[in-house]
Structures are given as structure tokens and as C-alpha cells.
């Protein structure tokens, strides 16, 4: 799949400190210690509706990871998927009387536009589930060969399921107890009551063709991929086992990331699919999680149409910490717009107070588990001094603009 257009990133003097991130599996913040090329896989959209601010918050968070890594001197191999074949697509396409493929490609186009407008650095590999079906089939073949997966005893629909106990370490990623797993599995797309499963938590990896559903040939009969295995196969075949960061919203901690890790580990024999499992908090509106199924969405494209500066969207979302569940409000956006205007005012001065210390602090805060509230405060401090007291450093305004651009993705020019 074609990614979106590249975004220029200014180079700053010196180098940022090494990144530390919170790992859901180990429940602590620790140094990522990526190699020369840092590797990241972030779970992409299911393209049946437009990008809302919850999605934006998640992709902006991992954009910061990308930017902080680059500033610290790494190359970054970033991979993102698109779940472009799944039930929600068929349901929405049916409701709207359109072909599910057309719906998907329309929403993917809009997503690319939204990401480019938000100045999110594009992934090197942007891969659809449909284009990775061959990879999924190979992986499912390995599961079946090793006994990690089995075909249910059902002549009509011989679906293939991955055994929840296929790997010894299952459960380490989410740290959830069995009851929590059972509840979330049922709530988030699992099928605990499917007859013929060995364990209610076993996860679908190949769904046999049903009437009216698209299907592809496979050694297990015509069908389509399960959800978790799509992400395992796409990540494994591009950045390999033991990649640095597996990312997504906290709604993916279980079952999605637990199973995509278990799938990967079952074919490699490694103990850990990803070195860090990084999860963003949920963005809500009016007291509820923002989600397509609830319909309480604020769309990035709608804000853009209303003339909202994408830099203000970034600043509004960065005003809270990425791991915190938080709400989108009109005040949050208004505050961010005011902040952006002040920052632009200071960046356009002909001289200002020296900015080296401020930039060092911004780098420190971002490297410390992406502490954007503190990074924004540090810039605010310099902006206030610049606007209220002035300064004699003629290069400072441009330096701050470069730093805000490179590290936060906000264009002050
Ligand atoms: N295609 C799958 C991942 S493989 C999926 O979850 N798609 S999605 O369209 O539902 O979500 C895309 C990304 O946005 C996921 O990383 C998800 O965790 C994140 N996300 C969804 N809703 C929110 C929200 N309200 N706040 C923050 N992140 C969200
Ligand atoms: Zn995923």
C-alpha cells in the first residue's frame, strides 16, 4: 500500500538523549536502547470510517517516538498495517450500499490526507491485510504444523484457531488475570462460545468462507485471516522478532497484542515478540470513549474543513500525557489555538532570549516517556520571556521554531 507523503524534519544542533518508554508488559519506564535502526510497528486503522481524534492521538504519540529517535541519531524502520478486510467494513458497506473495497480505499485515502495534514512522518512499510494474506497463510501453516493451532471440527466452517496455551509465557504482555481476559476477549471481537473450540480463549487465525464474505484460497480451504495474525505476520516479515516497539491504543492490550505476540513467539521460539509494548490512553468525548461504534466522533477531516490548524490539534492532544485517558473538549482546542498563536508570535520576533537550555529541557522531557505536558511548559516559559522581556539572541526564534517542528511536528512558520 502506498504510504503518505514525506514530511521534512529540520536537523537540530547536537543530539537528543536516549528514549525511555513505559512498557506495558514490565509495567515500568525503562531505556529503549534501540540499535542503529530503531524498529516500530503500530497497529493501523480499520478503514470503515474517518480518522477521529482518538486515532490521531495514537498516531501522534508514535510520531513523537519516531521524532525523538531520529533526534537521538537513529534511523527508524516504521511499519503500520491497515485492517482492510474485517466485519465492520462489510457491515458499513452493506448499510451504505457500497462495495467494501471502495469503502476501504476511500477511507484509507482520507486517512493519508489526515496524517499528511497532521505532519505525521509516514511509515516505511504501510501494509494492508489483503496484501499480506500470503504471509498470513504461511504463518498459519506453521501453527498447524507445530500443533499451536487446529481446525475446528465443523464440516461447514472449518475455521482455524490458535491455542491460548501454545506459548508458556502467554499473559505476560497484558498482565491480566483470567477473568479480565475472558471479559475483554468477549468484548473485543473474540468468540468464546464458538462450538468446537478447545478453550474459550483460543483465537481465530483463519476464518472459513461464509456466504457473501470475500475469501482467498488456502491449504485450509477458502477463507480470510483472523485479526491478530495479520499484525504478527506483517511485523515479523519486515522488522523481525524482538523489534523495539509494538504500539497502539490501550484497547489493544488484550486480546490483540497478547495474541499477536503469542503468534510471533510460537513460530520463532523467542520469549518476547516485541521489546516494548507501548499503549496510548483512550480519547473520549462527552464522558465516553470516542469510537466509531458509539458514533461520538470528532473527525480530523471535519476540524480541517473548519479551518483548524493541524498544529493546534497536536498541541491540544500533547497537553495531556499520552498514557492518560482524556477527553477532547472545545476548551482544550481553544487553549491550544491560543498557545499556538503565542508560540508563533515569539518565533517571528527578530531576537529573543537564548534557547539552548529550553531545547535541552524539551529533549529531556520527551525522552522521558514522552512527557509532552512538561515539554510544552518549557516552550511556554521561553515564549513568555521572549514576548514579555525580549532578548538579544537573533538566532533563538528560528532555533525554537526548528525544535518545535523537529520534535513536536508543529510548524510555527
Ligand atoms: N485495525 C485495528 C488495529 S490492527 C484497529 O484497532 N483499528 S481502529 O481503527 O479501531 O483503531 C486504530 C488505532 O487507533 C488503534 O491503535 C487503536 O488502539 C487506536 N484508537 C482507537 N480508538 C481510540 C481512542 N478513542 N483513543 C485513542 N486511540 C484510539
Ligand atoms: Zn494490530
Which of the ligands is closest to the CA of residue 261? 2
Query: Which residues does a 6 A CB cutoff place in the pocket of ligand 1?
Result: 43-46, 54-55, 57-58, 81, 83, 231, 248-249, 251-252, 280, 282-283, 289-291
| Rounded distance from Cα 98 to ligand 2 centre (Å) | 25
| Rounded distance from Cα 248 to ligand 1 centre (Å) | 7
d(CA 191, CA 24): 25
Q: Residue 206 pairs with which residues in a beta bridge?
A: 160, 225
What residue's CA is closest to ligand 1, atom 18?
Answer: 249
- 330-339, long-range: CB < 8 A, 24+ apart: 333/303, 333/308, 336/312, 337/308, 337/309, 337/312, 339/312, 339/315, 339/376, 339/380
What residue's CA is closest to ligand 1, atom 4?
Answer: 43
Hey, what's the cell of 386?
521572549
What residue's CA is closest to ligand 1, atom 28?
Answer: 54
C-beta atoms surrounding 330 within 10 Å: 8
Residues whose CB falls within 8 Å of the CB of residue 373, separated by 6 or more in sequence, listed in order: 318, 319, 320, 321
| Rounded distance from Cα 318 to ligand 2 centre (Å) | 23
| Rounded distance from Cα 290 to ligand 2 centre (Å) | 18
- Looking at 188-293, list the stretches that DSSP marks H as alpha helix, in order from N- to C-terminal side: 227-239, 258-268
What residue's CA is closest to ligand 1, atom 17?
Answer: 249
pTM comes to 0.97
What residue's CA is closest to ligand 1, atom 5?
Answer: 45
φ/ψ of residue 243, rounded to 5:
-70, 165
Range list of β-strands (E), 111-189: 125-128, 149-151, 160-162
- The length of the chain is 413
d(CA 152, CA 196): 5
Q: Which atom of ligand 1 is nearest to the CA of 82?
A: 1
d(CA 308, CA 312): 7
Over the chain (413 residues), the average pLDDT of each successive run of 10 is 96 98 98 98 96 96 98 98 96 96 97 98 98 98 98 95 98 98 97 97 98 96 98 98 98 98 98 98 86 83 97 98 95 97 98 98 98 98 98 98 98 96
End-to-end CA distance of the chain: 32
Which of the ligands is closest to the CA of residue 324? 1
- H or E segment and range at residue 183: helix 178-187
- 360-366, long-range: CB < 8 A, 24+ apart: 362/403, 362/407, 362/408, 363/16, 363/17, 363/68, 363/71, 363/407, 364/17, 366/16, 366/64, 366/68, 366/407
Q: Which of 184, 227, 185 is nearest to 207 (CA)?
A: 227
Range list of β-strands (E), 44-179: 75-82, 125-128, 149-151, 160-162
Q: Is the dihedral of CA 331, 332, 335, 336 positive or negative?
A: negative
User: Which 3 state secondary structure label does DSSP give 42?
Assistant: strand
What residue's CA is closest to ligand 1, atom 12?
Answer: 45
C-beta atoms surrounding 337 within 10 Å: 17
Answer whether 228's CB lies under 8 Å from 259's CB.
Answer: yes
Cα dihedral 335→339→341→342 (10° resolution) = 140
φ/ψ of residue 246, rounded to 5:
-105, 120
Amino acid at each position: 500500500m502506498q504510504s503518505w507523503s514525506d514530511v521534512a524534519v529540520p536537523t537540530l544542533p547536537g543530539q537528543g538523549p536516549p528514549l525511555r518508554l513505559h512498557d506495558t508488559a514490565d509495567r515500568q519506564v525503562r531505556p529503549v536502547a534501540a540499535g542503529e535502526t530503531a524498529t516500530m510497528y503500530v497497529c493501523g486503522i480499520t478503514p470503515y470510517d474517518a480518522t477521529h481524534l482518538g486515532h490521531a492521538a495514537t498516531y501522534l504519540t508514535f510520531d513523537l517516538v519516531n521524532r525523538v529517535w531520529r533526534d537521538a541519531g537513529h534511523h527508524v524502520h516504521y511499519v503500520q498495517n491497515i485492517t482492510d478486510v474485517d466485519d465492520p467494513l462489510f457491515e458499513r458497506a452493506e448499510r451504505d450500499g457500497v462495495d467494501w473495497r471502495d469503502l476501504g480505499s476511500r477511507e484509507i485515502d482520507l486517512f493519508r490526507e489526515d496524517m499528511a495534514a497532521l505532519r505525521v512522518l509516514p511509515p516505511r512499510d504501510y501494509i494492508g491485510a489483503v496484501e499480506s494474506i500470503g504471509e498470513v497463510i504461511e504463518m498459519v501453516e506453521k501453527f498447524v504444523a507445530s500443533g499451536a493451532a487446529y481446525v475446528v471440527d465443523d464440516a461447514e466452517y472449518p475455521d482455524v484457531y490458535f491455542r491460548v496455551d501454545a506459548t508458556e509465557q502467554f499473559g505476560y504482555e497484558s498482565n491480566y488475570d483470567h477473568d479480565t481476559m475472558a471479559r475483554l476477549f468477549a468484548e473485543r471481537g473474540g468468540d468464546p462460545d464458538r462450538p468446537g473450540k478447545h478453550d474459550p480463549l483460543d483465537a481465530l487465525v483463519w476464518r472459513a468462507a461464509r456466504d457473501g464474505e470475500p475469501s482467498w484460497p488456502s491449504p485450509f480451504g477458502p477463507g480470510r485471516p483472523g485479526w491478530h495474525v495479520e499484525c504478527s505476520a506483517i511485523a515479523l516479515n519486515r522488522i523481525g522478532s524482538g523489534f523495539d516497539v509494538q504500539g497502539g491504543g490501550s484497547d489493544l492490550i488484550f486480546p490483540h497484542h497478547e495474541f499477536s505476540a503469542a503468534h510471533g513467539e510460537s513460530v520463532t521460539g523467542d520469549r518476547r515478540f516485541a521489546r516494548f509494548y507501548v499503549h496510548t490512553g483512550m480519547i473520549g468525548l462527552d464522558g465516553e470513549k470516542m469510537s466509531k461504534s458509539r458514533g461520538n466522533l470528532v473527525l480530523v477531516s471535519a476540524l480541517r474543513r473548519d479551518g483548524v490548524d493541524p498544529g493546534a490539534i497536536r498541541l491540544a492532544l500533547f497537553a495531556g500525557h499520552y498514557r492518560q485517558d482524556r477527553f477532547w473538549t472545545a476548551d482544550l482546542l481553544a487553549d491550544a489555538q491560543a498557545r499556538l498563536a503565542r508560540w508563533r508570535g515569539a518565533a517571528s520576533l527578530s531576537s529573543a532570549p537564548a534557547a539552548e537550555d529550553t531545547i535541552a529541557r524539551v529533549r529531556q522531557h520527551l525522552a522521558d516517556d514522552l512527557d509532552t505536558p512538561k515539554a510544552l511548559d518549557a516552550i511556554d516559559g521561553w515564549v513568555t520571556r521572549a514576548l514579555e522581556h525580549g532578548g538579544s539572541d537573533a538566532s533563538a526564534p528560528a532555533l525554537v521554531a526548528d525544535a518545535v517542528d523537529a520534535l513536536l511536528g508543529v510548524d510555527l512558520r
